Every structure is written in C-alpha cells, then in structure tokens.
C-alpha cells in the first residue's frame, strides 16, 4: 500500500486500550480522517473520555460480509481471540471523545480524534470551506478535459458528492447551467450543500436515475406517435408492438437482463436496477416532471459521466471482493448510462466518461462499445494529458485509439506520463458528430 511516508508510528499505547472500527472507517483514517460514530464496532471496557486508544480494523468475512463483531461489543479476551487479523490492521492512535457507553449511544459525530496515523496525513475536512477543496489529481483532470464553455448547458449524470460538479461550474464562470443528477435525495443534498458553499448558482441538483433518461424519451416519442396518428394503425397491433419495443429497450438498458462509486454506490446501483420492474410505465413514472423538463434529448453541450464503478483504483483499499459476474453486470449498468448520455448530447457536443477503476471491462471495453454502437461518437483529443495511454486489444482499443484516452494506475511507474502515485482512474472524451437514434 502506497502512502506519503515510509515510517510507521507506534500504534499501541500503554494499558492496551483499543477501539475496533469497520473497513470503510479504517480506509478513511488512512486518508487523514478522524473516526466518527457510524464506523465504531467495539471498544475496550472501562474507557473514559480523553483516553488514548489504539485504533484497529475488523474486515468483513464471507459469506454475508459481516465483520464478526456486533456494534457496541466489549473487547474481551474472548472477542480478541476471534479477531486476530485486527492486530495487523492497526491504523493509528486516537483519543476518545466520550466514555465507552457514550461512544455507542450516539449515532453520529466525532468518536475518536486521531492523534497519530500510519501515514502522516492531517485531517482537512472543513478547512477553508467555500474557498478551497482537496481533490485527487485525476478527478481534477476529468473536469478540465470536459472543458465546458461559459454559458453552455452541462449535464453531470452521477454528481454526488459534487466535487467535479463544482469544478465544472467554476470552469464556466458560474454562467450557463449545470444539471446535476443523482439517484437519492441524500446524495443530491450533498451536491446542494457543496454548491451553496461555493456560491455556484448555475448548478441545478435533481434526483433521478440517469439510466432511465433514454428510456423515458423513447416512451414519450412512442406516445406522441400513438396520440398523433391513432387512426393509421390497428390499435391492438400497435399496442402489442409498442409494448414489445419498449420491453426490448428496457432489457437492453437493464443490467439484470445481461449475463455480463464508488463501489458501495455501484453495488447499490446494479442491485436496485436488477430488482426493479422492467415495466416501461414504471420507469417513466419514476422520473419527475422537473427532471423530464430539464433533461431533453440532444439538449446538452457537454456531459460528464463519472460512472459508478468497482472502484478498484481507489487507495488505500483494505479488502477487494468483487466477483467476475458482478464486474460484468456492473459494466452493463455503465452501458445503460452511456445510452442515456449519447441520447442527451447535442451533435457537436462532448462527453467525458470516467471511472476510478483499473478494470478494462469497465473502461476500454465500454469505449469500444460506444465507438461500435454509434459511428457518430468519436474519440476526441484531450486538452490535458497526465495519465498513460489505454490498453490495446481486440475487444479494447486500437493503438491509435489508446493514445486518445488516459489511464492512471495506482502502482507507481506503471503507466502514468507524469504525476505518478495517483489513484487508479480512466478518462475518455467523445465528440458527437451527428444525430443518433
């Protein structure tokens, strides 16, 4: 695991006091965070406010993904024997904000203030709020590559938490419109809060499942045809045809019909889409009138699709448990998003597709899919190249195409042109040269 320093600080204070946290909290600590209440799992008995504790991590176990410890458990000798791996996953030393009982009574807020971490990274949450924001280098590059013009219409299809959305607004001089979509109200509220911090009035956050944008437009077009020409077709046959056509479109869009983030968002996305109804009426109804009015076919000059992905490029990662079938289903979900993106993009407009994974099935194969599916979509030269070229292969890219995308690898020296030791990331930029169906 790469980090900003090679030295490891002492992790176990005198007395053997300890708190155990979940994996996501542990990964956050390694990136400079403190420990907040939702991440707590267990703690030594008898803790008092202000006590110094070692902070260790309990990883999920298969099957079921349970870490083997219930929230609020007392770290007795018996429980410690059941969690031997945590001693190799000590991430730092902190100071508890409350006694043991109070730590688990609260559901939110700061639980352990870190005073020493494996990697010497300070906590930056809330620092210079509304004036500066830390972002990973490839994330900054993705927004710069889209390079939206002032006064243009921009769609950010998977916007939360809003870092790239805010940067797009900044690049546009806070003029024009940035429609920022995400699937749930809490995620959209994150975007709203960040936009408010930055005074980005051009951002319009809306709740919507972006995979359904293409489906809804198709349904509306079909309905218009039926309404305008009701006497030119046999009603029974037209009803059957409309139903079968819509069903085919839905099956093409829905990952559940295919055999083939960051990753919790991706897992939620493919799970909810797989369990959702394939009824086209249900799909149309789930998009609000506000979204339908704001997001029209061929109406955006620029689109950013930072797709939910397997997040295999994120670091540090303490556990990766994606299966091949799950990765294949996720790639199908991303293609549903790409259908919507191509449909909403104006001829002459630009689409940036990016992920934080190193999996070619979600990267180069999806680029290949777009190029083969829509001849009007062509790879465009990127104005800022810091990553390395894409992967060449029969189902991936040609040598020339690989030079037009950029891939950041989390392994130093592997493929980056410069700015090595970044997270894993992939960026492709397309231009739409003409209308698409």
Q: What is the pLDDT of residues 270-316, one digit of tens each?
A: 665 554 433 333 333 457 889 999 999 999 999 999 999 999 999 88
Enter the DSSP assignment of 61.
Answer: B
Greatest mean pLDDT range, 247-256, 306-315, 420-429: 306-315
210's tokens: 């972006």
pLDDT digits (tens, 9 = 90+) for 128-152: 888 888 889 999 999 999 999 999 9
d(CA 112, CA 106): 13
Q: Is residue 225 over pLDDT 70?
A: no
147-172: average pLDDT: 97
Domain extent listing, the chain: 18-117, 137-432
DSSP 114-152: EEEESS-----TTTTTTT-----HHHHHHHHHH-PPTT-
pLDDT of residue 412: 64
248's tokens: 């085919």
d(CA 66, CA 425): 29
Q: Is residue 432 over pLDDT 60?
A: yes
d(CA 91, CA 404): 39
Dihedral, CA of residue 45, residue 49, residue 51 and residue 57, to nearest 10: 60
Average pLDDT of the chain to the nearest whole number: 83
Evaluate if pTM is beyond 0.85.
no
pLDDT digits (tens, 9 = 90+) for 373-393: 999 999 999 999 999 999 999
pLDDT, greater one: 327 or 8:
327
pLDDT band at 53 (very low <50, low <70, confident <90, very high): very high
Pairing of strands 73-74, 40-43: parallel
Q: Is residue 356 over pLDDT 90?
A: yes
Provide the annotated active-site residues: 356
| CA count, 13 A, side-chain hemisphere, 126 | 3
Classify domain 18-117 by CATH number: 2.30.130.10
The alpha carbon dihedral of 62, 256, 306, 151 has a sign of: negative
pLDDT of residue 88: 81
For residue 316, whether the previous peptide bond is cis, meaning omega lies within 30 degrees of 0, is yes
411-422: average pLDDT: 63
pLDDT band at 126 (very low <50, low <70, confident <90, very high): confident
The alpha carbon dihedral of 108, 114, 120, 125 has a sign of: positive
Q: DSSP 3-state assignment of 30?
A: helix
pLDDT band at 173 (very low <50, low <70, confident <90, very high): very high
Say how many C-beta atoms besides its own lie within 10 A of residue 163's C-beta: 20
Q: Is residue 323 over pLDDT 70?
A: yes
pLDDT of residue 87: 75
Domain 137-432 sits in which CATH superfamily?
A: Vaccinia Virus protein VP39 (3.40.50.150)
Q: Is residue 125 over pLDDT 90?
A: no
pLDDT digits (tens, 9 = 90+) for 16-37: 899 999 999 999 999 899 999 9
Q: Is residue 62 over pLDDT 80?
A: no
Q: Is residue 115 over pLDDT 50?
A: yes
Q: DSSP 3-state assignment of 292?
A: helix
pLDDT of residue 338: 98
pLDDT of residue 124: 77
| CA count, 13 A, side-chain hemisphere, 284 | 14
Residue 313 and residue 345 in contact, taking contact as beta carbons nearer than 8 Å: no
| For the chain, percent of residues with pLDDT exceeding 70 | 78
Say how many C-beta atoms besides its own lie within 10 A of residue 324's C-beta: 9
Residue 216 and residue 205 in contact, taking contact as beta carbons nearer than 8 Å: no
């Amino acid at each position: 695991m790469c980090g900003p320093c090679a030295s490891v600080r002492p992790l176990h204070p005198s007395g053997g006091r300890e708190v155990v946290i979940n994996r996501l909290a542990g990964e956050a600590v390694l990136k400079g965070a403190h420990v907040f209440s939702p991440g707590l799992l267990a703690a030594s008995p008898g803790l008092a406010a202000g006590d110094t504790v070692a902070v260790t991590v309990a990883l999920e176990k298969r099957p079921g993904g349970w870490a083997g410890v219930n929230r609020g458990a007392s770290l007795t000798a018996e429980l410690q024997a059941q969690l031997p791996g945590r001693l190799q996953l000590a991430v730092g030393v902190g100071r508890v904000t409350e006694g043991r009982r109070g730590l688990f009574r609260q559901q939110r807020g700061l639980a352990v203030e870190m005073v020493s971490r494996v990697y010497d990274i300070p906590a930056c949450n809330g620092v210079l709020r509304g004036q500066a924001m830390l972002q990973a280098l490839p994330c900054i590059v993705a927004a710069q590559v889209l390079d939206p013009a002032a006064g243009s219409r921009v769609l950010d299809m998977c916007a939360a938490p809003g870092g790239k959305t805010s940067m797009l607004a900044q690049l546009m001089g806070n003029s024009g419109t940035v429609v920022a979509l995400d699937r749930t109200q809490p995620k959209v509220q994150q975007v709203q809060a960040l936009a408010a911090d930055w005074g980005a009035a051009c951002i319009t956050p809306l709740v919507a499942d972006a995979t359904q944008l293409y489906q809804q437009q198709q349904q509306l077009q079909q309905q218009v045809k039926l309404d305008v020409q009701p006497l030119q077709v046999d009603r029974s046959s037209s009803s059957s045809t409309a139903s079968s056509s819509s069903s085919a479109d839905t099956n093409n869009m829905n990952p559940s019909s295919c055999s083939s983030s960051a990753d919790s968002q991706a897992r939620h996305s493919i799970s909810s889409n797989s369990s959702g109804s394939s009824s086209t009426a249900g799909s149309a109804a789930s998009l609000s009138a506000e979204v339908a009015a704001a997001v029209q076919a061929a109406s955006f000059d620029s689109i950013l699709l930072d797709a939910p992905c397997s997040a295999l490029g994120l670091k540090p990662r303490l556990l990766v448990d994606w299966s091949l079938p799950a990765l294949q289903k996720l790639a199908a979900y991303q293609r549903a998003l790409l259908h919507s993106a191509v449909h909403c993009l104006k001829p002459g407009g630009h689409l940036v597709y990016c992920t934080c994974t190193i999996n070619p099935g979600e990267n180069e194969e999806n680029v290949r899919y777009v190029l083969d599916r829509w001849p009007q979509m062509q790879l465009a030269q990127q104005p800022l190249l810091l990553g390395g070229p894409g992967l060449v292969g029969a189902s991936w890219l040609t040598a020339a195409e690989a030079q037009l995308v950029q891939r950041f690898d989390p392994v130093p020296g592997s493929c980056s042109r410069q700015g090595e030791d970044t997270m894993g990331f992939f960026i492709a930029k397309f231009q739409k040269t003409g209308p698409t169906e």
